Amino acid sequence: MHHFSYRRGVSHASVLHAEDVDLSALADAVGTPFYCYSTATLERHYQVFADAFAGAPDTLVCYSIKANSNLGVLASLARLGSGMDVVSEGELRRALAVNVPAERIAFSGVGKTKEEMAFALDADIFAFNVESEEELRGLSEVAAARGKNARIALRVNPDVDAKTHHKIATGRAENKFGVPFERALSLYQLAAELPGILPVGAHMHIGSQITDLEPFRNAFALLTELVGTLRDAGFEIEFVNLGGGLGIPYRNDEAPPPLPTDYAALVKQALGNLGVRLLFEPGRMIAGNAGILVSRVLSVKHVGAKTFTIIDAAMNDLIRPTLYEAHHEIIPVIGPARGTPNVLTDVVGPICETGDYLALNRPLPELHAGDLIAVMTAGAYGAVLASQYNSRLLVPEVLVSGSQHCVTRPRPSYDDMLAAERLPDWA
C-alpha cells in the first residue's frame, strides 16, 4: 500500500497526489525530474514490519540505508525507533546525523576499510557483520590498537538460491558475500582467540526482492543449525541477524509477494526457540513503494511503427530498468480522459545510450510534450544510484507529509557541479 492517489485538482481534472500534495503543482514549484517520498507510506511500512513481530521476545529492525539514504527518510524512520544497517562510514554518519543511537546500528559490507572500522568502534555501534577471515583479522588489529572490543556476527553464506535477479542474489557460493557455511565454526574459534573481538552473533542475508518464502525457510534452517553448533562449542550467541530481502510488488499484473506477517510467522517458527535477539535489515520493503520519480514529456517521436516517448528523466536518475531489466509501473500525473487510447511506446531519456530507457514496449495512455508522468515504486535504489552522467544535474528529492513538502536534497546548479572539480596548475 502507498499514499499516491488521484484526486480532483483545481481544474477539476483528476490529479495524482502524494498524500495531500498535488504533484502537478509540486512539479511546477520544484521542476522536473524529481523524486517524491511519502512520510505516511514510510511510517506505515516500517510499522507493519515491526508489528508483525509483536510477541517476539526481543527484536531490532535496522533499516538498510543503502536502499534510500535521504536524511529526511532516515529521520522519519528514526522517530519511530528504527535502527540502521550501514555499509560505509558515510552511511554511518548519516545514521548518527539523524540521532539514531549507536547501539541500534549494525555495520555490514564486504569492503570495510580500517578507517571505517575505527570510526565505527569509536561510535560504539551495536555490531559488525564480518564477511571474511581477512576482515576479522583486520578488525581485531584496529580494535586492539584502540583498546576496544568489537561485537561481531560472522556473515555465513548458506549457498541457498534466493530465486531473485542474479545481480541481487547474495547467498550462493559463487557470490562475494560471507564465509562458507562449512568454515563457520573454525572462523568463530579463530574469532574467540583474537584480541578485541567478541563473537556473540550470527548473520545471514541471501538476497533482495525475494518473493517466495521457501529460500528463507531453507536459510533459516541452516542458521538454526549453526547456532546449535556454536553453542555446543561453547559460544554464547546473543543475537541472530536475518538480513532483509522481503520483496515488494512492482507490477500490477503479478501475484503479490508474501506479507510481513507471513514472513514473521516463518521466522518465529524457525528461530523462536533460540532465545536470541532477532535483528532484521529491511530496506526495499520499507522505502520502495514510498517513492516515485516525476518526469515531464519532452517530445513524442515516431519512427515507422515505433513510438518513443522522450522524457526529461534518464538512466542516470533511475538506473534500475537498465541495470536489472526492472519493471516500474508508469502513470500520467493528470488522469487521462475516459476513452483515451493506449499507445505502445518506449519511454526513454535524453542520454546518449541505447540503454537509456525506463520502459520498453509499454502500453500507456497517449502522451504529449509537457505531460507529466510518475514512475512508481522508485523509493528504493533510485536516487541513491543516481549519477551526473552526461553532466546532468543530480535529481532533487522531496519529502511530503500531509499537505506539507520539503525539498530535502535540492537540485544543484551547474555552477555547483563545476565548482566540485579543480583544474590542475598546468592547465
Q: Which residues are catalytic?
A: 352
How crowded is the C-beta side of 418, counted as CA atoms within 13 Å?
Answer: 3
Cα 308 from chain centre: 30
- CA-based angle 286:396:334, to the nearest 5? 80
The rounded distance, in Å, linking the Cα atoms of 128 and 112 is 10
Burial of 264 (0-12, 13-18, 19+ CB in 10 A): buried
Residue pair 129/106 in contact by the 8 Å Cβ criterion: yes
The rounded distance, in Å, linking the Cα atoms of 62 and 81 is 9
Q: Which residue has the cell 487510447?
A: 341
If residue 91 lies in a helix (H) or strand (E), which one and from where to where?
helix 89-97
Residue pair 68/41 in contact by the 8 Å Cβ criterion: no
Residue among 257, 251, 397 nearest 328 (CA): 251
